[in-house]
Amino acid sequence: MTKPDILAMPKVHPLYLQALQAAYTVHSYNPDGDVLAFSALAPRVIGLAAGGESVVPGALLAKLPALKVVSVFGVGYDGIEVQAAIDRQVPVTHTPDVLTDDVADLAIALVLSVARTLPQADQHVRNGRWPAGALPLGRKVSGARMGIVGFGRIGKAIARRAAAFDMSIAYTARSEKPESGFAYYPTAAQLAANVDFLVVITPGGQATRHLINAEVLGALGSKGYLINVARGSVVDESALIEALESGVIAGAALDVFANEPHVPEALWHMPNVVLTPHMASATHQTRQAMADLAFANMQAGTSGQPLLTPVPECRAAWSI
Ligand code: 8YV
């Protein structure tokens, strides 16, 4: 029996692909590939598999008349033109919840790494420099002030972990969440002015582009640290590099970048910076859970069953 055809965007995670291949004929999308071959395939494509970093413009959706679902392996979906999908009656799904713990864990790991200079300490020992002297002192984390930019599921999970370090917690978000009991600031700059560690975990996309700019970094100040586990687009990377070079802020720990997988060379050798390769959800357990959920959404969407986790815009559009 022939399996239904679906299209996979470049770099879709292997665990997700593996699950899909058992049930579908999976075609890899190549934007520079054979146009005629794509035109022949396009009318048969009923599902589109994407990752959190995939870019799916409305123009691509328009070429897929039989498309029934876009299933994203990732909680973030800022590269998908969701309104264009809704206009075509095509739902978009993502993988919330299953990665919340991992992303929050990595946010705390980055706070500790940059404050306690863990990468430098490791190098100090490995490179045989310990006998020659001690490392410069670090910055105490327990009891410090944490500010969280974006107070959704992951932001709240970061707050719970920070509370275990006796940190005082404040946040900024589109609206105040009085039930949280934490201090709310209406702007990122106001929040930054009142914290030691500013952790960014807000969705990417146009609405948050360069939300963390020179003004916010200036407010964070020369003793403040920036941690980004959201999307590179949320931070004005040039302003950040300038702030780090000139001591406007104390340091930064970054898991995401504006032009991944490329990281500005200016950041590579800065001693007050910790860099990780967009790995917040990268554990065996979580990536498997994401693959399972993304696959289940694909199956539901292509067979007309209720979707497990449609994105909020689709839930709102169709009351699902
Ligand atoms: C993944 C992510 O790296 O969930 C997200 O939004 O950015 C990450 O968990 C990504 O989705 C892998 O494609």
Domain ranges of the chain: 5-98+285-318, 100-275
Counting from 1 in the atom list of ligand 1, the atom nearest the Cα of 279 is: 3
Q: Is 121's pLDDT higher than 90?
A: yes
- pLDDT tens-place string over residues 145-189: 999 999 999 999 999 999 999 999 999 999 999 999 999 999 999
- pLDDT tens-place string over residues 124-136: 999 999 999 999 9
Q: From edge to edge, which strands make up the β-sheet containing 145-149?
A: 183-184, 168-172, 145-149, 197-200, 225-228, 251-254, 273-275
Ligand 1 midpoint to CA 82 (Å): 17
Q: What is the DSSP string of 150-212?
A: --SHHHHHHHHHHHHTT-EEEEE-SS--GGG-SEE-SSHHHHHTT-SEEEE----SGGGTT-B
Domain 5-98+285-318 belongs to what architecture?
3-Layer(aba) Sandwich (3.40)
Q: Is 1's pLDDT higher than 90?
A: no
Ligand 1 midpoint to CA 255 (Å): 11
Q: Hey, which residues are catalytic here?
A: 231, 260, 278
Mean pLDDT of 56-81: 98
Counting from 1 in the atom list of ligand 1, the atom nearest the Cα of 256 is: 7
Is-contact 231 76, C-beta < 8 A?
Answer: yes
Confirm or reject CATH 1.10.645.10 for domain 100-275, answering yes or no: no
User: Does ligand 1 have an atom closer than 6 angstroms to the CB of 74?
Assistant: yes
Tokens of 310: 């449609």
Per CATH, 5-98+285-318 and 100-275 having the same topology is answered yes
**Nearest protein Cα to ligand 1, atom 7:** 52
Ligand 1 midpoint to CA 243 (Å): 27
Amino acid identity for residue 267 in this structure: L
- pLDDT tens-place string over residues 203-228: 999 999 999 999 999 999 999 999 99
User: Does ligand 1 have an atom closer than 6 angstroms to the CB of 53?
Assistant: yes
Counting from 1 in the atom list of ligand 1, the atom nearest the Cα of 103 is: 9
User: Does ligand 1 have an atom closer than 6 angstroms to the CB of 96?
Assistant: no
Backbone φ and ψ of 221, nearest 5°:
85, 175
Distance CA 105, CA 201 (A): 12
Is-contact 255 110, C-beta < 8 A?
Answer: yes
Tokens of 163: 């509370």
